[in-house]
Protein backbone atom coordinates (compact mmCIF):
# COMPACT_ATOMS: atom_id res chain seq x y z
CA UNK A 1 0.00 0.00 0.00
CA UNK A 2 1.37 3.42 -0.94
CA UNK A 3 1.65 6.32 1.46
CA UNK A 4 -1.54 8.36 1.58
CA UNK A 5 -1.19 10.42 4.78
CA UNK A 6 0.46 13.83 4.56
CA UNK A 7 2.84 15.39 7.09
CA UNK A 8 0.29 17.64 8.81
CA UNK A 9 -2.17 14.77 9.07
CA UNK A 10 0.54 12.53 10.51
CA UNK A 11 1.37 15.00 13.28
CA UNK A 12 -2.29 15.37 14.25
CA UNK A 13 -2.77 11.60 14.30
CA UNK A 14 0.24 10.97 16.53
CA UNK A 15 -0.67 13.78 18.96
CA UNK A 16 -4.30 12.66 19.28
CA UNK A 17 -3.18 9.03 19.60
CA UNK A 18 -0.78 9.89 22.42
CA UNK A 19 -3.47 11.95 24.17
CA UNK A 20 -5.89 9.02 24.01
CA UNK A 21 -3.20 6.65 25.25
CA UNK A 22 -2.57 8.93 28.24
CA UNK A 23 -6.30 8.93 29.04
CA UNK A 24 -6.32 5.14 28.92
CA UNK A 25 -3.18 4.93 31.06
CA UNK A 26 -4.61 7.28 33.69
CA UNK A 27 -7.89 5.31 33.70
CA UNK A 28 -10.00 8.42 33.20
CA UNK A 29 -12.50 6.57 31.02
CA UNK A 30 -14.76 3.64 31.84
CA UNK A 31 -13.93 0.04 30.96
CA UNK A 32 -15.51 -0.18 27.52
CA UNK A 33 -14.59 3.39 26.58
CA UNK A 34 -11.03 2.69 27.67
CA UNK A 35 -10.80 -0.32 25.35
CA UNK A 36 -12.22 1.63 22.41
CA UNK A 37 -9.91 4.59 23.10
CA UNK A 38 -6.92 2.25 23.38
CA UNK A 39 -7.61 0.60 20.04
CA UNK A 40 -8.20 4.00 18.42
CA UNK A 41 -4.98 5.37 19.95
CA UNK A 42 -3.01 2.41 18.65
CA UNK A 43 -4.48 2.82 15.16
CA UNK A 44 -3.83 6.57 15.06
CA UNK A 45 -0.24 6.24 16.22
CA UNK A 46 0.46 3.40 13.78
CA UNK A 47 -1.05 5.22 10.80
CA UNK A 48 0.75 8.41 11.79
CA UNK A 49 4.12 6.69 11.94
CA UNK A 50 3.65 4.55 8.82
CA UNK A 51 1.87 7.27 6.73
CA UNK A 52 -0.65 4.69 5.51
CA UNK A 53 -4.34 4.65 6.35
CA UNK A 54 -6.72 1.88 5.34
CA UNK A 55 -9.81 4.09 5.64
CA UNK A 56 -8.22 6.77 3.44
CA UNK A 57 -7.44 4.03 0.90
CA UNK A 58 -11.07 2.83 0.90
CA UNK A 59 -12.38 6.40 0.52
CA UNK A 60 -9.72 7.24 -2.12
CA UNK A 61 -8.32 10.13 -0.06
CA UNK A 62 -4.68 11.13 -0.35
CA UNK A 63 -3.35 13.93 1.85
CA UNK A 64 0.29 13.21 1.02
CA UNK A 65 0.07 15.07 -2.29
CA UNK A 66 1.30 18.60 -1.79
CA UNK A 67 0.54 21.45 -4.17
CA UNK A 68 3.54 22.90 -5.92
CA UNK A 69 4.32 26.51 -4.95
CA UNK A 70 3.58 29.16 -7.53
CA UNK A 71 6.61 29.92 -9.64
CA UNK A 72 7.21 33.45 -10.86
CA UNK A 73 9.21 34.32 -13.91
CA UNK A 74 12.01 35.57 -11.65
CA UNK A 75 12.36 32.10 -10.12
CA UNK A 76 12.59 30.44 -13.52
CA UNK A 77 15.06 32.98 -14.85
CA UNK A 78 17.44 32.42 -11.95
CA UNK A 79 17.20 35.93 -10.49
24-75 pLDDT, tens digit per residue, is: 999 999 999 999 999 999 999 999 999 999 999 999 888 887 655 665 555 5
Number of domains the chain contains: 1
Domain assignment present for 27: yes
Domain assignment present for 50: yes
Domain assignment present for 11: yes
Domain assignment present for 41: yes
Residue 13: domain span? 7-61
Domain assignment present for 22: yes
Domain assignment present for 78: no
Report the distance separating Cα 79 and Cα 73, nearest Å: 9
Domain assignment present for 56: yes
Q: What is the pTM of this model?
A: 0.77
The dihedral over CA atoms of 49, 26, 28, 5, expressed in degrees to the nearest 10, equals 0
| Buried b / exposed e along 52-76 (16+ C-beta atoms within 10 A) | bbeebeeeeeebbeeeeeeeeeeee
The three state secondary structure string of 4-25 is: CCCHHHHHHHHHHHHHHHHHHH
Amino acid sequence: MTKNVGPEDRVVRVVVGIALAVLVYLRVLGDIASIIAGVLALYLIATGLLARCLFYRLADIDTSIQEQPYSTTDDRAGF
